[in-house]
Amino acid sequence: MKWNSKLYDNKHSFVAEYGKSMIDLVNVEEDQKILDLGCGTGIITNELAKEGATVIGIDSSIDMIKKAKLNYPNLNFQVGDATNLCFQNYFDTVFSNAVFHWIPNQKKLLCSIYNSLKDNGKLICEFGAKNNVFQIQTAFEKALKQKGYSYSSEFYFPSKDEYKLLLEETGFEIQHIIEYDRPTLLYDGEKGLRNWVCQFFASYLSNISYEETEQILFETEKFCKNSIWKDNQWIADYRRIQIIAVKNK
């Protein structure tokens, strides 16, 4: 997926806001080495650095890293592949918010993180859980189908039990794992849902004409109206899995 860093910061700043609320889980100490994995435009990387940690922000998107470097020129940002990190026994903490569900090869991802951590280092992360954005995906799929297009979800939204197993197979010991509903307000009033769809399902719409795209967005909104339009706002049906896992010696 090609990320639009401007739209991401302007219309989807809730991603970073929720990420900020996760920083409390980290217990940042002076000189702690932290990797912010999938750092986007660097908002959380900066928050972690402000607390005294030595932070590296890594993202696979060149555009995001360009913006992060512009935003925070004194911080260390790198373009990199989360499933192939070039660090060994280096970090005290790998932190990640709203990223893992984009990565198809979870085994490779967890091995890569495990190797990058010191002994007793922690993975602290949150991402989409089973049935995350179910209403939006179902509506979008129906709207695409009406126009003769198909949708097949590329996201990985596991259950807590499924992910627990993967973590343990990799060698992590689980300190904390929860799965929960996190209804999420989409900014920009009536336009909130279409903004979201245009950002996150961009690849499905890129070869479709403007007129047809408008119809698909309209139909998606129509299908979602009963479930996630509340008090004149779009409330996305986010579900989250939150994890603290320790690298066993």
Positions that interact with ligand BEZ (CB under 6 A): 98, 101, 128, 132-133, 155, 200, 238
Nearer to ligand BEZ, 32 or 132 (CB): 132
Give the nearest distance from C-beta 92 to ligand BEZ in angstroms. 26
Give the nearest distance from C-beta 54 to ligand BEZ in angstroms. 27
* Orientation of helix 210-228 relative to helix 134-146, angle to 10°: 140
| CB environment 210-228: b (16+ within 10 A), e (fewer) | eeebeebbebbbebbeeeb
Distance between CA atoms of residues 104 and 102, nearest Å: 7
Number of H helices, E strands in the chain: 10, 10
Residue given tokens 């911080």 in the structure block:
75
Give the nearest distance from C-beta 128 to ligand BEZ in angstroms. 4
Nearer to ligand BEZ, 126 or 219 (CB): 126
Nearer to ligand BEZ, 23 or 236 (CB): 236
Nearer to ligand BEZ, 19 or 57 (CB): 19
Distance between CA atoms of residues 103 and 82, nearest Å: 8
Give the nearest distance from C-beta 69 to ligand BEZ in angstroms. 24
